[in-house]
Amino acid sequence: MKSLLYASASALAPGDEQAEVERIVSTARARNADLGVTGTLVFTRTRFAQILEGADGVVDALMARIARDPRHEQVTVVDAIPIDRRMFDDWTLSYSGGSRYVDKHIAPLLDGGGSGGGDARQLRRLMQALADAS
């Protein structure tokens, strides 16, 4: 199994974001359960970060499909690590709303272009904490 973390910039129309994110989440919840994919999604109004965990090939195929989705852009795989146990029990939306604090952890991973401006481990810890709290 692997755990993949990606970040992206939202392309959702302002004003309609919340309803669209709910649509994304209900698709993802049903699909990911079928695929045996667990993980979590964070949405900050301007950016997304998502962790997907599951069998390597399943996660790769799902990631390829998500990357083609026009509802976001600059889709950037931050890291992908081999795991032998899951950190998430199911698939959850762990945060949805405006938050400069959360966004500050995502932005440098997207815009930093690998310059070391972002800390993937810190973002993973934050996403885990948000999922635990939700």
Ligand X SMILES: Cc1cc2nc3c(=O)[nH]c(=O)nc-3n(C[C@H](O)[C@H](O)[C@H](O)COP(=O)(O)O)c2cc1C
Interacting residue ranges for ligand X, rule: CB under 6 A: 24, 27-28, 31-32, 41, 48, 50, 62, 65-66, 69, 71-72
* Residue closer to ligand X (CB basis): 30 or 129: 30
* Residue closer to ligand X (CB basis): 92 or 126: 92
Shortest Å distance, C-beta 24 to ligand X: 5
* Residue closer to ligand X (CB basis): 19 or 115: 19
Enumerate the β-bridge partners of residue 95. 42
Shortest Å distance, C-beta 107 to ligand X: 16
Shortest Å distance, C-beta 69 to ligand X: 3
* Residue closer to ligand X (CB basis): 27 or 134: 27
Measured between its terminal Cα atoms, the distance across the chain in Å is 25
Contacts 24+ apart (CB under 8 A), 108-115: 109/7, 109/49, 109/76, 109/78, 110/7, 110/8, 110/9, 110/47, 110/74, 110/76
C-alpha–C-alpha distance, residues 121 and 15, integer Å: 32
Shortest Å distance, C-beta 118 to ligand X: 18
C-alpha–C-alpha distance, residues 120 and 124, integer Å: 6
